Amino acid sequence: MYKNTYTCTREIDYYDTDRFGNMKISAIMRHCAVAGDEHCVEHGFNHKFFIKHDASFVLSRINIDILKYPEYNDTVIVKTWQSDISGPFYQRIVLFYDTSDNLLLEYVSSWLLVTISTRRIIKPATFKHNLPVHIEEKFQLKKTDKLKAQEGYRKVYSRYIGESSIDTNGHLNNAVYADIACDALDEQPSGKKIKSFKLNFIKECFCRETMDVHTVKLNGKYYIKGEISNSISFLSEIEF
């Protein structure tokens, strides 16, 4: 029987964590993506299904709010569901809990369904295989934010995109953007951890391209911009 929500258990491994033993933002994104994929597969929508329909989900925006970081060797309970379909966007919520049912983090993402061959957006109303929307009032108002480019950016570094960073969609893997954004920070404020991470994907990045990464700190928040040939690829907002 199909379920509107999907729940799984994950063990946090050493490669999921940073030098302080806390789960990396990129690892959070990877685990959330896998949970969403598994939920789709549970409904019969596996990779072969989407290939057959010339369709693929691409991530557009994410908001991550972290209450307590999962750490190395922790066991976490991951719960996810599709919370809304609005305009061209499919919205998915993923929650991490500890084994005592304490909420650790909230991950809200907005996805676009596109044709694999042309990258054109497929309107949800024209696609006959959508997952059911699940409503949980406590989290229903959670949405992703549309970020704007800021003034005063300065270039921090350039990142060459090689084969190892490309996924089966033929572009830079979503989670790698989080590493690129976090690497743009001069230093992590002493004793502080990222409590809010936002990311907007503007333009796909492909193999053998070079991304210029810029940052600016405004009102206590860090704003990061990735550019390819002077065209914005992503925008990010980080708050400690």
Contact present, 184 and 201 (Cβ < 8 Å):
no
Please say whether the beta carbons of 60 and 110 come within 8 A: yes
Quick one: pLDDT band at residue 139, thresholds 50, 70, 90?
A: confident
Stretch 151-164: mean pLDDT, rounded?
A: 97
Residue 160 makes CB contacts below 8 A (sequence gap 6+) with 208, 210
Position 2 confidence tier, pLDDT thresholds 50, 70, 90 = low
Sorted by where each begins, the domain ranges of the chain are 5-140, 154-239
CATH topology of domain 5-140: Thiol Ester Dehydrase; Chain A (3.10.129)
Q: 154-239 belongs to which CATH class? A: alpha beta
Which of left, alpha, beta for 181 (phi over 0: left; psi -120 to 50: alpha)?
alpha
Mean pLDDT of 24-40: 97
- At 104, list the tokens: 């650790």
Q: Judge whether 5-140 and 154-239 match in fold.
A: yes
Residue 1: pLDDT above 60?
Answer: no
- pLDDT cut 90: percent of the chain above it: 88
* Averaged pLDDT for residues 117-122: 94
- The residue whose two tokens read 């295989």 is 129
Compute CA 125 distance to the chain's CA centroid, rounded to the nearest angstrom. 24
Q: What is the mean pLDDT of the chain?
A: 94
Joined tokens for residue 1: 């029987």
